[in-house]
Structure 1
Amino acid sequence: MLKFYTLTQEITPEHRRRIFPLLFDWCYLEDAELRNHFQQVATLEEAEVAILPIDLGYYLKHGQKKEEERFIQSAKEAHKKVWVYSGGDFGTTLSEEVTTFRLGGFHSKMNANTNVMPSFINDPYEVLLTGTWFPLTKTEKPTIGFVGNAEGSFNKWLKEFLIYGKQSLNRLLKKDPTDWQSFFPSSIIRFQMLQKIKESSRVQTDFIYRNKYRAGATNEEEKRKTSLAFYQNIEKNLYTFCLRGSGNFSVRFYETLMMGRIPLLIDTDVRLPFHDRIQWHQHCVLATRENYIEKLVDFHQQHSEQELKKIQESNRQLAKEVLNRKAYFIAISKEIMSS
């Protein structure tokens, strides 16, 4: 059982949406299963891990950098491991002396103490889709789907460039503490790559382009309809195209795994969860912007129908049993306790 210490006075209703993900289940949901693997203690001296309770960006943006530094320094002086959550699309890199949890970033630039978390996805079959899950059979050509923001217009490029310029200026002026980013107009690049797939005679495509997030849905019924169309597209296609968004990670990648389908993930120097333990090439088609059509076709041809069904089953099991929030942190705790 892993003993942790945190600043309980900061766990308030106002901080619910920015709290360290483990503490969300522990404090707000009071999950019973976690009690078998973690124990909250009252003092730093009793703990094995000190958890900074709120998203790092909150401290840095709200003039509380000294409070964050004081907490980390106290833990280090007590020779305790420190866990920090850096939320949002971009995240912030800290020293190697703390363990950082974040959604994305660039693998070649992150240190060994940076843990990439999955995007924690609710099972669509429990909250949205009717019927039960089933694996798809193999077709002659690989069938690939996509529903989302993809547009090739100059106006879209200009809009993304202006957003990038504002973000870069804020980083330069120290108003934004997140890591520096190069310009990556994701919706433009996504559209261009999807068009190349459509032009290929070796692939069967099923694409629905949106020019706004969730097709501009503004109420719950519209959101439900767009979500339904999104997941139905994944459900009926063996593969789904997955490319990073603003941050260097793809939520669609984890949604595809949860649906028990196979992601075609474009590697933009990504780091995946448990990258040194999970054999990710067994769960997805990992490709570059130069070879993604060839990789998709080769993967499809090299696997039998039985193998493809097993991959689909394995992906859904992985998402449900390993990449959910509780299981993720339980696995981290077991790793620490066994070291």
Structure 2
Amino acid sequence: MLKFYTDITQLTPENRSRVFPLLFDWFYLENPKVKEYFIFVDTIEAADVCILPVDLGYYLHSKRKHEMNLFIASAKKQDKKVWVYSAGDFGTSFSDEVITFRLGGFHSKMNANTFVMPSFINDPYHTILSKEWQPINKTIKPSVGFVGNADGSFVKWVKELLIYFKQTLNRFLKKDFTDHQVFFPSSSIRFRLLEKIKASEMILADFVYRNKYRAGATSESQKVKTTLEFYENIERNLYTFCLRGSGNFSVRFYETLMMGRIPILIDTDVRLPFHKEINWNAHCIICTKNNFIQKIIDFHNSHSIDELKNIQLQNRTLALNTLNRQNYFISISKIYQNKHEL
């Protein structure tokens, strides 16, 4: 059992949506499984680790950086490791002296003390799809699915450029403390790469292009309809195309794993969760913008029917048993206890 200390005075109803994710389960939901592996102690001296209670951005934006620095300094004085949560699409790189948890970023620029969290996905088979999960059979040609924002128009590219300029300006004006980004018009690039798949005679493409997130759905019935279409597309295709969005990570990647299918991940210098512990090449096709067509074909042809079914099962098991919020931090605690590196 891992003993942790945090400032519980910050765990207020107002901070519910921005607390360190582990604390959400421990204090707000009082999840019994999490409490089997983590125990709260009320002094830094008694703790194995100290957890900064609220998202890093909260302290920076609300001019409470001194509180954060005091918390870290107090832990450092007792020679305790500090866990910090950097929320949002972009995240903020922080001191090498703390352990940072974030959703994405650039692998080559992140230090060894930065841990990427998965996007925590609810099981669609419990919430959306009224059926039991089953693997699907190998087809002669690889079937690749995609439903989402992909728009090759010049107007869309300009819109993405204007958003990028606004974000860059806010960083320059110190209104935004997230890491600097290079311009990446994800919708435009996604459309261009998907069109290359459609043009290949060796691949079966099953794509639904949308020019807005969730097709611009506003009513509850529209959201249910578009969500169902999204997951049914993943379900009926062995592979799903996954490219980063605004931040350098793909939520669709984790949704595909949860659905027990095989992601095609375009590597944009990503760092995946447990990148030292999990052999991700056994779970997905990791490729570049230059070689993804051939990678898809080669992967499909080099695996038997049974091997592809087994990968599907392993992916769903990984998503259910390791990549949900509770089990992710339980796995982190085991790494800490086994290696004492966190």
2:167 corresponds to 1:167:
yes
2:287 corresponds to 1:304:
no
Once the two structures are TM-superposed, the CA of residue 14 in structure 1 deviates from its matched residue by 1.0
**In the TM superposition, what are the counterparts of 1:178-327 in structure 2 within 5 Å?**
178-327=178-327
Q: Which residue of 2 aligns with 1:17?
A: 17
Q: Which residue of 2 aligns with 1:115?
A: 115
Inter-partner Cα distance in structure 1 for 2:200 and 2:156: 25
Q: Which amino acid aligns with 1:224?
A: V
Q: Which residue of 1 aligns with 2:94?
A: 94
**SS in structure 1 at match of 2:167:** helix
Q: Deviations over 1:55-88 (max 9, x none)?
A: 1011101111111111111111111110000000
Inter-partner Cα distance in structure 2 for 1:73 and 1:90: 26
Cα RMSD (Å) of the superposition? 0.6
2:40 corresponds to 1:50:
no
Aligned sequence identity (%): 65
Inter-partner Cα distance in structure 2 for 1:283 and 1:25: 28
Q: Which amino acid aligns with 2:164?
A: Y
Inter-partner Cα distance in structure 2 for 1:108 and 1:31: 35
Once the two structures are TM-superposed, the CA of residue 338 in structure 1 deviates from its matched residue by 2.1
**SS in structure 1 at match of 2:295:** helix
Q: Which amino acid aligns with 2:286?
A: L
Inter-partner Cα distance in structure 2 for 1:159 and 1:211: 12
Inter-partner Cα distance in structure 2 for 1:235 and 1:87: 30
Inter-partner Cα distance in structure 1 for 2:156 and 2:188: 7
Inter-partner Cα distance in structure 2 for 1:175 and 1:183: 19
Inter-partner Cα distance in structure 2 for 1:95 and 1:56: 12
2:84 corresponds to 1:84:
yes
Q: Identify which range, 68-77 or 312-321, moves more after superposition.
A: 68-77
Moved over 2 A (4+): none
**SS in structure 2 at match of 1:264:** strand
Q: Which amino acid aligns with 2:211?
A: N
2:8 corresponds to 1:4:
no
Once the two structures are TM-superposed, the CA of residue 335 in structure 1 deviates from its matched residue by 1.4
2:157 corresponds to 1:157:
yes
Q: Which residue of 2 aligns with 1:38?
A: 38
| Equivalent pairs, count | 339
Inter-partner Cα distance in structure 2 for 1:312 and 1:59: 41
Q: Which residue of 2 aligns with 1:177?
A: 177
In the alignment, structure 1 segments of 5+ residues that lack a partner are none
Q: Which amino acid aligns with 2:335?
A: E
Once the two structures are TM-superposed, the CA of residue 174 in structure 1 deviates from its matched residue by 1.4
Q: Which amino acid aligns with 1:72?
A: I
**SS in structure 2 at match of 1:169:** helix
Q: Which amino acid aligns with 1:291?
A: N
Inter-partner Cα distance in structure 1 for 2:335 and 2:296: 34
Q: Which residue of 1 aligns with 2:105?
A: 105
Name the TM-score, length of structure 1 as normaliser.
0.99
Q: Identify which range, 7-16 or 106-115, moves more after superposition.
A: 7-16
Once the two structures are TM-superposed, the CA of residue 284 in structure 1 deviates from its matched residue by 0.2
Q: Deviations over 1:181-213 (max 9, x none)?
A: 000000000000000110110100000001100
Once the two structures are TM-superposed, the CA of residue 31 in structure 1 deviates from its matched residue by 0.4
Inter-partner Cα distance in structure 1 for 2:98 and 2:288: 32
Inter-partner Cα distance in structure 2 for 1:140 and 1:333: 43
Q: Deviations over 1:27-53 (max 9, x none)?
A: 111001112111101111111111011
**SS in structure 1 at match of 2:108:** helix
Inter-partner Cα distance in structure 1 for 2:92 and 2:24: 21
Inter-partner Cα distance in structure 1 for 2:55 and 2:41: 21
Q: Identify which range, 57-66 or 278-287, moves more after superposition.
A: 57-66
**SS in structure 1 at match of 2:281:** helix
**SS in structure 1 at match of 2:25:** helix
Q: Which amino acid aligns with 1:296?
A: I
Inter-partner Cα distance in structure 1 for 2:217 and 2:134: 29
